[in-house]
């Protein structure tokens, strides 16, 4: 049996007391299926007035996927979308040839202590979809397919599995599951796609009798079923994956693209204020210097 590849997180403090654990991209693994970026923030109780806002910034060549376990956020983008995000909902924004968005606390939440816990992932678009029109999808928690497979309770956030299909439209074969197991239960995950990975935000798991600590990703061996067992506290974890991309894309700042030229063009466009703005917002995040090679 080929063991899973374990990827520890890298910690980034975005603001005082607000820490993000970044797992993808990693030196040992740059992508899992189309997923090229994986951030886990919280769980944290933020004090009243804490500033976790992310001002308007651009993206190309990817879809951002925001999924909350606790707390709320307000998404706004250059298409005119204004969408509060609540736990269990899927917020899927496709950048295509270019989009700008902001992420903020809701005004009514800002003046009081608030919980925040969730994941933000990036899904790279295949080359044929890089220049697609930007779009925004929001699937409320009640509309996410839920099903049971043995002892496991599954929520299908994206993709097709176990006879169900998520309403989220994807540009590439993709899987994103939220899985809950009761205390001591074991569940076998079949090899649904060539690329699969497990991430448990808060609870330890056993993967084929090998411990997986919380906050660490396990990339599974291709084509092998994997048995996951919960501890005494039960377990909640996500499964990500899909078909491997035809080629690994380039990532720089908030841009994903198949070539350095696309990234350089997007950088020049942001510097020239050439992206459509977020209606009603004037702030913007400054871009870091573009490396000389454009990569």
- Picking from 234, 238, 228, 165, the residue whose alpha carbon sits closest to that of residue 201 is 238
Contacts of 138-143 with C-beta under 8 Å, sequence gap 24+, read 138/75, 138/81, 138/83, 138/85, 138/89, 138/90, 138/91, 138/92, 139/89, 139/90, 139/92, 139/166, 139/167, 139/168, 140/86, 140/89, 141/86, 141/87, 141/88, 141/89, 143/167
DSSP conformational letter for 148: E
Give the strand order in the sheet containing 217-219: 5-7, 217-219, 195-199, 235-242, 174-181, 152-158, 146-149
Average pLDDT of the segment spanning 109-123: 96
Residues 9-55: tens digit of each pLDDT: 999 887 777 889 999 999 999 999 999 999 999 999 999 999 889 99
Residues 188-214: tens digit of each pLDDT: 999 999 999 999 999 999 999 899 999
Indicate the domain borders of the chain.
Answer: 5-242
Percent of the chain scored above 90 by pLDDT? 93
Average pLDDT of the segment spanning 133-143: 98
Residues 261-286: tens digit of each pLDDT: 999 999 999 999 999 999 999 999 99
pLDDT reported for residue 12 = 87
pLDDT reported for residue 56 = 98
pLDDT band at residue 1, thresholds of 50, 70 and 90? low
Cα gap 227→207, rounded to integer Å: 6
Average pLDDT of the segment spanning 76-90: 98
CA dihedral 153, 158, 160, 163 (to 10 degrees): 30
Residue pair 193/175 in contact (Cβ under 8 Å)? The answer is yes
Query: Domain 5-242's class?
Result: mainly beta
Interior/surface letters 155-180, b for 16+ CB within 10 angstroms, e for the rest: bbbbbebeeeebebebbbbbbbbbbb
Cα gap 20→237, rounded to integer Å: 17
pLDDT reported for residue 291 = 84
pLDDT band at residue 294, thresholds of 50, 70 and 90? very low
Residue pair 193/33 in contact (Cβ under 8 Å)? The answer is yes
Residues 147-195: tens digit of each pLDDT: 999 999 999 999 999 999 999 999 999 999 999 999 999 999 999 999 9
Written as six digits, the tokens of 107 are: 């005004």
- Picking from 191, 176, 138, the residue whose alpha carbon sits closest to that of residue 35 is 176
Strand partners, 227: 188
Predicted model pTM: 0.96
pLDDT band at residue 293, thresholds of 50, 70 and 90? low
pLDDT beyond 60 at 79: yes
pLDDT beyond 50 at 58: yes
Residue pair 160/144 in contact (Cβ under 8 Å)? The answer is no
Q: In 10 A of CB 61, how many CB atoms?
A: 31
């Amino acid at each position: 049996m080929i063991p899973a590849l374990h990827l520890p997180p890298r910690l980034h403090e975005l603001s005082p007391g607000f820490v993000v654990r970044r797992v993808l991209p990693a030196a040992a693994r740059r992508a899992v299926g189309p997923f090229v970026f994986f951030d886990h923030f919280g769980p944290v109780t933020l004090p009243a007035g804490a500033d976790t806002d992310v001002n308007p910034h651009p993206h190309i060549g990817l879809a951002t996927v925001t999924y909350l376990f606790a707390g709320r956020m307000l998404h706004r983008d250059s298409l005119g979308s204004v969408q509060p995000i609540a736990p269990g909902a899927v917020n899927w924004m496709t950048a295509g040839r270019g989009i700008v968005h902001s992420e903020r606390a809701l005004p009514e939440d800002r003046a009081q202590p608030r919980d925040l816990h969730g994941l933000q992932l990036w899904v790279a678009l295949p080359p044929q979809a890089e220049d697609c029109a930007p779009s925004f999808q929001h699937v409320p928690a009640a509309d996410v397919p839920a099903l049971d497979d043995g002892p496991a309770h599954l929520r299908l956030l994206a993709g097709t599995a176990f006879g169900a299909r998520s309403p989220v439209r994807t540009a590439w074969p993709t899987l994103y599951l939220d899985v809950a197991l009761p205390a001591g239960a074991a569940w076998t995950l079949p090899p649904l796609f060539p690329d699969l990975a497990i991430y448990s935000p808060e609870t330890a798991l056993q993967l084929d009798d090998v411990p997986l600590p919380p906050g660490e990703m396990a990339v599974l061996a291709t084509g092998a079923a994997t048995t996951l067992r919960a501890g005494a506290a039960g377990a909640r974890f996500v499964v990500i994956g899909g078909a491997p991309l035809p080629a690994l894309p380039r990532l720089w700042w908030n841009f994903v693209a198949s070539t350095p030229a696309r990234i350089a063009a997007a950088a020049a466009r942001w510097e020239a204020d050439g992206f459509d703005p977020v209606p009603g917002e004037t702030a913007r995040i400054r871009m870091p210097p573009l490396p000389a090679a454009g990569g």
